[in-house]
A and B are shown apart, each in its own frame.
Chain A
Amino acid sequence: MKVEQISVFLENKPGSLENVTRILKDAHINIRTLSIADTTDFGVLRLIVNDVDTTLKVLKENGLRASRTTVVAVEVPDRPGGLHGILEVLSQYKINVEYLYAFVEKSGENAVIIFRFDSPDNAIDVLLKHGFTVMPGEKLYAF
């Protein structure tokens, strides 16, 4: 039920991001969604792509520091309180969210929220128990 995400270390300077998107374009990689966490000096780009192995390979070949991390994707109806419902449960079980980002599905009806947890397995159990839809990686990559 877990999703593989690619993280890339980037310096905060013009052209860093463009370099990554060019490498992915040349390798015909489609980005499903992304987020960037940044500081004054550097940022970490996080990507969900259609082909994790190829992405990791081409980024490393081009000398970038890239790694594979495990995240959890949860589908919720795109309406007020959607995200809150999840966080309420997580909070109840004292599950810490390291970071999260979200996007809206093509149909426009649902939102997908990408979570990074310390222990994803435990979080998945809790979410499933409370009736949330946890998306398998394959479905997300092929979206």
Chain B
Amino acid sequence: MIYNEEFETLPREVLESLQLKRLQQVVQRVYHTVGFYRKMFDEAGITPDDIKTLADIRKIPFTTKQDLIDNYPFGLFAVPMSSVVRLHASSGTTGRSIVVGYTKRDIDTWSDLMARCFVAAGLTKNDIIHNAYGYGLFTGGLGAHYGAERLGASVIPISGGNTKRQIMILQDFGPTAICCTPSYALNLAEQGAAMGVDMRSLNLRVGLFGAEPWSEQMRDDIEDKLNLTALNIYGLSEIMGPGVSMECLEGRQGMHVFEDHFVVELIHPETGEILPYGEEGELVFTTITKEAFPLIRFRTRDISRLITEPCRCGRTHIRMDRVTGRSDDMLIIRGVNVFPSQIEAVLMNIEGLEPHYQLIIDKVGSMDSLEVQVEVSEKIFSHSDEVRYLQNLERRLSKDLRDFLGVNAKVKLVEPKSLQRFEGKASRVIDTRKR
């Protein structure tokens, strides 16, 4: 199903000429209203009139997270505060938070894009949506909420936390869809099972999971435990919030970037050069319709791939692969680059293991050391209580990490629940080298 058939299935040439027109408009606007961009253009020796084709976007320098921090809180707003109807702030996982603003029309666009996401997930106004994304400064809760209302579905604005109550509501209100982070979905499944609730027989049919990188194996695990179809949704507050791109039920492979509102590029995270389609690199977004907080060539630090092959769902918008990590999250262990999500994928390859893990990185002398702590799952321990079996499991994981990722790690089985559970974004890395 497609919410906005006309715009989501535009022929590529028409879509690209729409993108160019909108890009030219936004570039004009920021040049004349945001001091930061005027200075950037002037220093690069370009003017908005130099943008004659879509490819000309490459003439414009990148905007980075640091630029946003330097202009905290409202320095990059392109409209007066009287036109701003909402403020959000990023979760500040990487330090100082970033403030974003929305005009009435921006909220309208956002609601529309989120409604597209829900429809791509097969939802209609007859669905009940359990929205466990946090409400507040974080864009997740309200973003999904407005989209669900736009669609006409019934929203349960449960927000994050209070897991026992969430499980009660999941049983009593019978929602057909759920939105939350993938790690919270597992947390719900686990706590529900501990309370004696059959989490597979709830009314849930589909889940929209995002706001943190997760693996294909984790998708299988969530689908198995909650008996639903798990779909990937992507967004970031700097660009808009959730609803920048969404996986479709038909394809379930890569998320369609809503290109009538965003221009997406993929660059080499170190050199900044544009990479050919299919290669892995950093996502760069330009918002082409946003009024209050337009961003030009914003470097997301998110690592992904762009997929140009047409999708069976009929949407013509380009797809991005699941985000494998943030270039900020990349760990360098004895010179080997590795993302936590890659380690997760190796762990989840073992039948019976669950994605409850933590990575402890330390420096012993001049050498980096990585310890991967994994909880002993019910399945593993009921399979055998023999020390030899458990030690073999540790050894096998250690070997797999070396074979697949080239990283030397000590794997340590730990007691269940000894690792932190997450209600929002998971943070599984403890790096004591940075002290």
Contacts and interface: CB of A to CB of B under 8 A. Distances in A.
A60 to B, nearest CB: 8
Q: Is the interface of A mostly helix, strand, loop or mixed?
A: strand
Contacts of B53: none
A44 B415 contact: no
A63 B381 contact: no
Contacts of B412: 41-42
Contact of A44 (B382, B385, B416, B418): B385
A63 B387 contact: no
B416 A67 contact: no
Contacts of B394: 41
Given A10-B415, A65-B376, A46 B390 contact: no
B415 A9 contact: yes
Interface in B55-102: none
By size class, the interface of chain B is 10 to 19
Q: Is the interface of B mostly helix, strand, loop or mixed?
A: mixed
A26 B312 CA distance: 60
Contacts of A69: 385
B387 A44 contact: yes
Interface in B359-415: 375-378, 381-382, 385-387, 390-391, 394, 412-415
B160 to A, nearest CB: 22
Contacts of B376: 9, 65
Which of A11, A43, A46 has most B Cβ within 10 Å?
A11
A65 B378 contact: yes
B165 interface: no
Contacts of B375: 65
Nearest to B382: A67
Contacts of A116: 386
A11 B415 contact: yes
A116 B384 CA distance: 11
A44 B390 contact: yes
A39 interface: yes
Contact of B418 (A11, A43, A66): A11
Interface string A11-44: 1000010000000000000000000011101111
Contacts of A44: 385-387, 390
A11 B381 contact: no
B417 interface: yes
Contact of A67 (B381, B391, B417): B381
Which of A37, A41, A43 has most B Cβ within 10 Å?
A41
Given A7-B381, A65-B381, A67-B381, A37 B415 contact: no
Contacts of A99: 386
A98 B386 contact: yes
10 contacts: A7-B385, A9-B381, A9-B390, A9-B413, A11-B415, A43-B387, A63-B416, A63-B417, A64-B415, A65-B378
Interface of B: 375-378, 381-382, 385-387, 390-391, 394, 412-418
